[in-house]
Structure 1
């Protein structure tokens, strides 16, 4: 906006210069002629009178000599004998104090003239009119400088005034824009200063009111997400307990009866042996389902050991993947909801790596620093496709992070896919 305001000022300065040059080239020749008009008419009158006096004089020679001695070599009027070297008279002009380009712009006419003196029918000399245009030239140069400098000074003053006015108007608008950007990032606490014109102050006040409403809505949304996540975990734990209590005895009974039926039969194709294998497979599937619903050993082993167990299971499921972990032992002191969130984020990220990444290395980092928990699960696999749509697992990870006022990012850094989760410690209770 400042640049756009300066453009008309620069244009006006350039236009004024061009107009001044045009006016000089157009009107200067006529002005020089008008300023020398009286002197040129006087020379004509003197020449006419001298010719008349010489025509009636009995001896015109002495009269002419007396006239020539009288005017001598004057500034503007001069006498030249006819037998002198003939040349076109020229005006006198001293351009030392004026730039050459300015003199060239004026197109100064040659106002010098020669008026013949006739005695009888003989041309005996000339009265020359040789005006000195130096004062007129200097006057026009000083006038041009005065007009240009004063006009430029006024335009610069107007530009500075417009710049300062625009700066004073733009500053509150910039603060309003910065406040809206903070609101977009989720920072609703810093108020926008009420500065500038009344219209801008009104917009800032409305933006502050909007920030208060958004803060309240964001808090309500986080509280609702937290309740949903907590209810979901409770429901999963209850479902896991019911499955364990119901399926466990039944699977044990099936396996025991199948063993009793098999007796000493060593035929692997026997129905009883196949039933034993099916019961064992069903028991393993039941344990995986129960572990997915509710990691019963999280409170017993702690978060550090639980994540290491996840990595061991991942390596067992896919031995070609080399796993490593850096887990802060202080994470074991966090409350149940925070521990569950960290565990679920790591669990879902590892599951995605095993299923989709085609990776050869898998690294998990969970650290407690700067009053926040930072979790990074990275691999050297093929990465996420462009414009990936969040599936159920990633959506659950994102919802859990938002429930604790955190954020979840999916990144591609240095040839590795990174799932990074940031959770503020204020959302957790430390034991």
Structure 2
């Protein structure tokens, strides 16, 4: 009689630790797991609760400015380098890894209104309230030369500066939009559309010959460097403070408006925004897209920083600090992990883009667990309990009261419009989409 024995390799059922921890074989047949959905739901609730428990977005602050910070600039090739400009004309170069200031220069007399780096060369440009544009050389150690390489005297005060993504050209805004060549002292092209002042100007990162600008007459303007006149203009109900282009969609941009909202437009159809984003209770001062193009961050006059998905009206995250004052400028880091905000109390703060993300190197088992929890939260995200826990945020009292008041005002407007329509002739008061209510007109 011959007996055949089973032979198994220990590597098939023991983990890498070689300890007595047996790998449990599992049959994935759903008929053998009738309570799988219930167990996964409990795990999804627990994962959502732990996400809120470990949500600690604030990482640190960069303290050193003696006046309010008005400008932030990301270095195009060094993630750990940040440039900032303040109301007293001072420009500082920061090392984010060490959280200290590498260099300080007195760039202008008065406010620093514009600050941007060349995207391939080691120098940057600044413009200020003293009607000058200055070019500064950066050293290999991260410092800055004491004297500027070039000084351009302007006729009027400059409001903003942005450098081209590939050519040696930059644009400034003020009484008009000027296109400058780095080697010339006069603008090579000027755009004017009868506006008192242009507040903000930005180059398109994909279609690099296109520019977007916001004017003091409540307008959002589009320019093409290849032409001699502006392209199109759309007028909103209130003034816009900043504009940012989506780095992954060439024709999409978002503007930060004074009416507490942000508006995402497609430049091919400006008669109605693609979406509008609410939740701020005061004017929105700045906006910047993430490198992925799926989200953007906004800075508010209500002392808060909010993160919005592009396709949603409400923010997924709100950041605030006890001593943080009105936030004037915000930037999303190029590695998609950090958010930088600057406010009136002379401080620059560093936040995590994902509040509960664990920083540092993750072990394979940790990474697998995080991915599994993310899939569970995505699968059960619409269940009331999971949705309530994931959406809940503790906000300052004035933000809570302001949001409640804005909600009452909007409900009152809707009720009044409904009553007027009910007591008027049929068709006398047409129904207007919520997106169309904020656009006054379009000019070509």
The alignment's TM-score, normalised by the length of structure 1, stands at 0.23
Greater relative contact order (Cα 8 A, min sep 6): structure 1 or 2?
A: 2
Give the helix-richer structure, 1 or 2. 1
Give the strand-richer structure, 1 or 2. 2
The alignment's TM-score, normalised by the length of structure 2, stands at 0.22
